[in-house]
Structure 1
Amino acid sequence: MIESFVRQLPKADIHLHLDGSARPTTVLELSKAQNAELPTDLEELTRMMHVDENTNSLDEYLSRFSVPLTVMQEAEALERISFELAEDCFNDGITYAEIRFSPYLHVAKGLALDEIMVAVWTGAQRAMAQYSIVCRFIVCGLRHMTADQVDELARLALRHLDHGVVAFDMAGSERGLISQTHPTAIEIVHSNPKLRLTLHSGEAAGAESVRDSIVECRADRIGHGVRMREDPTLVTLAVGRRVALEMCPTSNLQTKTVLSMSDWPIRQYLDAGLPTVICTDNRTVSNITLTHEYMLVHEQCGLTLADLARVADYGFEVAFIEEGERKKIRQQAREVASKLLLEHGVDPEGVYKVKEV
């Protein structure tokens, strides 16, 4: 009964990596077509793309990306995987998805950065024409990249604002403060208010990484942010600035950011007034769906149906899409969610106390 509610609840996944969410069956097909040096057995290949609770760190978790990236070096493959991810999201009750990826990871066979952007946007457009889902993209720099590479990706994001790009991110192993390692890229992002900023912080690194992202880099949202709780003044600062959190429970367990769901701080953040959104991170690497993540948080953290509906609503509230479109998809989601809540004996007015302005 609860799972049916969650599956039907319109949801936004705003922290979703393209390369970490490719279907194993598709990777196998592409591998054979491209004569890639990958296992030809689906079970073995799938094992190589998944992690489990025995993963020791974020770095080990990130190593799983090498398998799908092997076949994501051609435009047709990128378009297909983009389309299929949007399709998988739609089948998971997701009506809005912000898909992120780092274009420099797809140049091994000579694709230009702009060609890569066109390919993923074309795939998403096909999905949007076929399904009731809206997709946008976030361009990721990676912390280990050179400053010149990250600066070029920030400029690439600006060039493709009319082709689905809404934001820029810095991902990868959390070493060093972004304001010190990539200051020019951050300034490039802030040169155009249409390009928003979300930063991976507070996952492997401590609260100081989140403070750097919010104060020095002026991020609109934080990816993960689990360790922000180590500094209560930072939580207060984030609430005051209305900085939203993109939180990914299973991923955080697998990377050992937390050791159990009882230690996962979503309730603390929600009670503090932080807009907090449940996301998948990597559907394939973590072997999960967004419905699964909502159920996990319901069962392990005690979030009620009203709480889950409010978290889902936050996803639309803090979406980076153009304002008029954002209000439209949020209102559509609220209308469906309100009917579901009533069917389960929950007053939607208690969930949506603050009306959209």
Structure 2
Amino acid sequence: MTSSVLVDRLDPAAPALRAAVAGLPAYLAGRRSVSELTAALASNESHYPPLPSVVDVVREQALRINRYPDMGAVELRERIAAHLGATVDEIAVGPGSVGVLQQIVTALCDAGDEVVHAWRSFEAYPILVSLAGARSVGVPLRADESHDLDAMAAAITDRTRVVVLCSPNNPTGVSISAGELDRFLAGVPASVLVVLDEAYVEYATRPDTIDAMAVFRAHGNVCVLRTFSKAYGLAGLRVGYAVARPALADGLRRTGIPFAVSGLAQRAAIASLDAVGEMRDRVAAVVAERRRVTDALRSAGWQLPDSEANFVWLRADDTLRARLVDTLADADILVRGYAGDGVRISLADRATDDRVLAVLSDRGRFPD
């Protein structure tokens, strides 16, 4: 039987992908563990099990999965709004923060419009922009792995519709200071939406961390993007949200796929907000591990930035990157390599992190 791939190649009348889709790079998820002995540190998941109170709610809600969820996620939006000091009409939810970002790009960008973001940053950014027919404008990070906000401001043109700032940045972990952001926003046209992607904000500890809600209130062109996937540990349920001006938030709800956030996800997110104290205890443990791992790696001769997220970053060319990924894999440790840039290592429990440190304890094993 002739394969569909062969038919596509031989039959010019066969349905063809849009050029924007055919040219898209595939999103590369972190490699999954193949045994219980494997340390899966390639994806930025919480390495804690779900909170018991959240599990109880999910079990109860599982008996209702024959029913559609609330498409408007009204109760969840009400709880998020109360948690942040916002109003319910300022909240839009979606399947993870990346799903909400796709709603933002869909709502604002026509073909030929531009979205400015740092690079390297979250690899879904250029994919989502290309899907909308818009143009992705990646601005290189500075030598210290931080956003080059001056260069990003210079990259804004009359075709720019959105600027995405990932803070703390994935995969480098470096955050933007409140002062840097204030100076940047002062020069951004009011017609350009600035999205603060704060997927890892719960892990941020620097004294000058951005107060996103204060910035949102002070600037009419700012949108805050967050998720329950990281610190709250709901990566498998996919629920994120945006805080935006009511007209924009309404547009995001209109562009979202109907029923995209399941009833399980909505109830689990509400339960997670009820258990925010437990979440913060877990975050504190991750932050302590981050400090310990960073200090140990630096003592071993590695250079790495101060991460504000739940991972650490090693800048590496392709030769060193491949050596790091392969050597760690030989020790049953999966990490995330980025071609041309480096390696991201998610933080886990102390014993697992010690396995990483044992492999990387001798910087001399990994010549540049």
Return the TM-score normalized by structure 1: 0.31
* Greater fraction helix: 1
* Bigger radius of gyration: 2
Q: Which has the higher contact order (CA 8 A, sep 6+)?
A: 2
Return the TM-score normalized by structure 2: 0.30
